[in-house]
C-alpha cells in the first residue's frame, strides 16, 4: 500500500499535537485530574503571582495555584488569598513557612513552602498565613536613597579637604613665621638655661639641702618635742 503525501503530513501533524500535549501536561501547569486537596494561603501582597503558578515544597513541585481572591476582614487591611491544589501524597505542617519566590531569569513567580516541625498537618480547606516577601521596588528605592546620601557625604568630605588646603595655602606665610618664632624662642630658652646652668645647679642643691635639714628638724621634733618648749621658755626669759 502506497502512503500518500497527505497521509504523511497528517501523521506528522498528529505526532506534533501529541508531543505538544505531553509537554504541556508534564510541566504541571495544566492538571486534568481532580486528585489532590485544596488549602488556602493569605498574603498582604503576591507580587504579580499568576494563576496556575507552581507550588514547591522544599524544592519539589507538589501542586499549583488554582485561584486567587481578595478577602476583606473588618478592622484589618485587605488580604490576597491563594487557593492551592496540593498532591494527596504531600502533607504540610501547619507551621510551615510559605513565601513567594522568583524562578529563573524570566522572573516567573511561584509559591514556596518550607516544611515546619509541627505534627499538626494542614487538611483540605485549611487557611494558612503566608510571609510577604520584600518588594524589590522598595529595596531599589532605599538603595538609591542610600547611594545619594553616600554621594553627598563624599562631596562634603571633598569640600572640607579643599577648604583646609585653601586655608593652609592662604596662611602659609603666617604659619612659617610662627614656626620660625617658635624655633627662635626655643633656642633662646636653651641658651639661657645653658648660660645659667651653674646657678641653677647651685639653687637646686641649696633647695635640696634645705629640704633635707627641714626633714631632719621635723624628725628630731617628733622624737624630742620638749626641745620646742625649752626654746620657747628661753626666748621669754631673754625678753
| 177 vs 171: CA distance, rounded Å | 10
User: Mean pLDDT, to the nearest integer, of 21-34?
Assistant: 57
Specify the DSSP class assigned to residue 47.
T
> What's the pLDDT at 190?
81
pLDDT in tens, 142-172: 777 788 888 888 888 888 888 888 887 778 7
Structural contact between residues 111 and 55, judged by C-beta atoms closer than 8 angstroms: yes
Write out the DSSP string of 162-175. HHHHHHHHHTHHHH
pLDDT in tens, 45-91: 888 888 889 999 998 999 999 999 988 876 678 888 999 999 999 99
Contact between 126 and 39 (Cβ < 8 Å):
yes
pTM above 0.85, yes or no: no
User: Which range, 93-102, 104-113, 149-158, 185-194, has the best average confidence (pLDDT)?
Assistant: 93-102
Q: Domain residues of the chain, as ranges? A: 1-30, 33-133
228 pLDDT higher than 80: no
- pLDDT tens-digit readout, 196-218: 877 778 888 888 888 887 787 77
Q: How far apart are CA 71 and CA 137, in angstroms?
A: 25
Amino acid at each position: 500500500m502506497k502512503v500518500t503525501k497527505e497521509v504523511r503530513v497528517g501523521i506528522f501533524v498528529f505526532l506534533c499535537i501529541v508531543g505538544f500535549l505531553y509537554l504541556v501536561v508534564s510541566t504541571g501547569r495544566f492538571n486534568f485530574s481532580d486528585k489532590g486537596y485544596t488549602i488556602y494561603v493569605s498574603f498582604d501582597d503576591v507580587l504579580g503571582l499568576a494563576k496556575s503558578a507552581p507550588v514547591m515544597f522544599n524544592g519539589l513541585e507538589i501542586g499549583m495555584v488554582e485561584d486567587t481572591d481578595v478577602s476583606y476582614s473588618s478592622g484589618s487591611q485587605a488580604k490576597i488569598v491563594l487557593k492551592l491544589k496540593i498532591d494527596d501524597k504531600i502533607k504540610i505542617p501547619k507551621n510551615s513557612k510559605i513565601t513567594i519566590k522568583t524562578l529563573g531569569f524570566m522572573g516567573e513567580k511561584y509559591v514556596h513552602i518550607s516544611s515546619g516541625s509541627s505534627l499538626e498537618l494542614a487538611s483540605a480547606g485549611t487557611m494558612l498565613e503566608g510571609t510577604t516577601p520584600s518588594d524589590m521596588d522598595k529595596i531599589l528605592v532605599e538603595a538609591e536613597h542610600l547611594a545619594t546620601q553616600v554621594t553627598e557625604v563624599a562631596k562634603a568630605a571633598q569640600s572640607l579637604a579643599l577648604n583646609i588646603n585653601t586655608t593652609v595655602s592662604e596662611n602659609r606665610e603666617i604659619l612659617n613665621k610662627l614656626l620660625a618664632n617658635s624655633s627662635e624662642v626655643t633656642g633662646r630658652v636653651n641658651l639661657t638655661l645653658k648660660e645659667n646652668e651653674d646657678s641653677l645647679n647651685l639653687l637646686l642643691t641649696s633647695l635640696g639641702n634645705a629640704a633635707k635639714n627641714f626633714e631632719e628638724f621635723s624628725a628630731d621634733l617628733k622624737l624630742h618635742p620638749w626641745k620646742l618648749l625649752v626654746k620657747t621658755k628661753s626666748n621669754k626669759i631673754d625678753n
